[in-house]
Amino acid sequence: MVPDEKISIILMPITDLLLAGLNLMLVGMGIVFSFLVLLVLSMLGMSRFALASERQVAKPAQIVQPAPTVHPSDDVRGDLIAVISAAISRYRTTHN
């Protein structure tokens, strides 16, 4: 900057400086707003694309296996059940 330009900036009326600042602010806000609109539109487009591609993918059928049946005589002993029942009833009577 040459010295004459410094003087011309200093001598600018305050209204011209305010208008230049307002102009710069509006341009900046317009650019940011445009970018945000573009970002929202791209996110909506990607969301719709993901939903459409998910619908096209065939999901395999799930095969439900029946639960194995347990017979009381297989692993359960009668004396063990009696001991556990007695312990539970004793706990309930002492911790009420």
Q: What is the pLDDT of residues 26-65, one digit of tens each?
A: 999 999 999 999 999 999 999 999 888 877 765 666 777 8
Angstrom distance (rounded) from CA 51 to CA 69: 41
Angstrom distance (rounded) from CA 88 to CA 7: 95
Q: What is the pLDDT of residue 76?
A: 67
Amino acid 64 reads V
Task: Kindly state the greatest CA–CA separation across the chain.
Answer: 107
State pTM to two decimals: 0.45
Question: Average pLDDT over the chain, rounded to whole?
Answer: 82
Angstrom distance (rounded) from CA 63 to CA 44: 35
